[in-house]
Amino acid sequence: MTIIEAARTAATGILTATADAATAAYRDAVRTYSREKLRSVAMVGADGTDTMFVDVLVEDAIIGAATAAGANILSEERGFVDVGSAITLVVDPVDGSANAAAGIPLACFSAAVVVDGEFTEAMTSWLHTDERWWASRTASEYRTSGCTSLDRAAVSMLRPHERNRDAWWRVASAATRIRILSCSTLESVFVATGASDAFVDAGSDTHRLMDIAAAVVLVEASGGAVIDAYDRPVEFDADLTKRWSGIVASTPDLAEELRAAIAG
């Protein structure tokens, strides 16, 4: 067995261990602390944005589990934690932090495994229910809807900003249905499973790598496509200042149509 093969064998166990740690920490947090405390700003994260208290609690548990299992970790709050492993986890500890802190059950733990610079497998876990979705580059039990046209597509979107309102409206007015759930990783899962046809940041450059890393595996292994609205590669990079406008679609054709709509 090669070093890379051994790393891939170990990765599934590490994903499970970190998902277990995230779920336990999240549930303990919501039992122990008020909503005001959970949403309070605890620090400025490694990505340069405010970090909620709930993020810190869950991320600490995940880092402990990952490093105990011998994996490096790249997370939006603490940055890159290097233990010299062949395996790195790109982790979003609590995607949908504002939802989680408010008691809205739309928040996820999500992680993608990187071996030799490539995303190899991923898991997203719905923190409220502990339902989990896993896939590798070569194995998935899910299939996308197969939708190829925006005018027949149900599309989840990030909320609009002033900087992208025109692009946002072009997508929203062309799609058959629009949803805003404020949890990118869960919205990407729904594309992988065929519940939704696409999820998109309509050109606002809001996505960090951990927002869409798991989708690269989960959605592409299920027949879909993950691209950037401005044609930047969605690939492993430890630079947390980088941003993407991710397009997660049930088919490459739909992904390209969404990109064209954003471009105008």
Contact indicator for 88, 114 with CB cutoff of 8 Å? yes
- Indicate the length of the chain as a whole number: 264
The average pLDDT across 47-65 equals 94
Residue 196: closest CA among 127, 140, 132, 142? 142
Q: Matching CATH topology for 3-136 and 150-263?
A: no
Per-residue pLDDT at 12: 86
Burial of 42: CB neighbours in 10 Å, binned 0-12, 13-18, 19+: middle
Q: What is the CATH number of domain 3-136?
A: 3.30.540.10
Angle at 73 between CA 71 and CA 77, to 5 degrees: 155
Count each helix (H run) and each strand (E run) in the chain, helices first. 8, 13
Under 8 Å between Cβ of 108 and 96: yes
- All structural domains of the chain with their residue ranges: 3-136, 150-263
**Does the reported pTM lie above 0.75?**
yes
Position 7 confidence tier, pLDDT thresholds 50, 70, 90: very low
pLDDT for residue 175: 98
Into which CATH architecture does domain 150-263 fall? 3-Layer(aba) Sandwich (3.40)
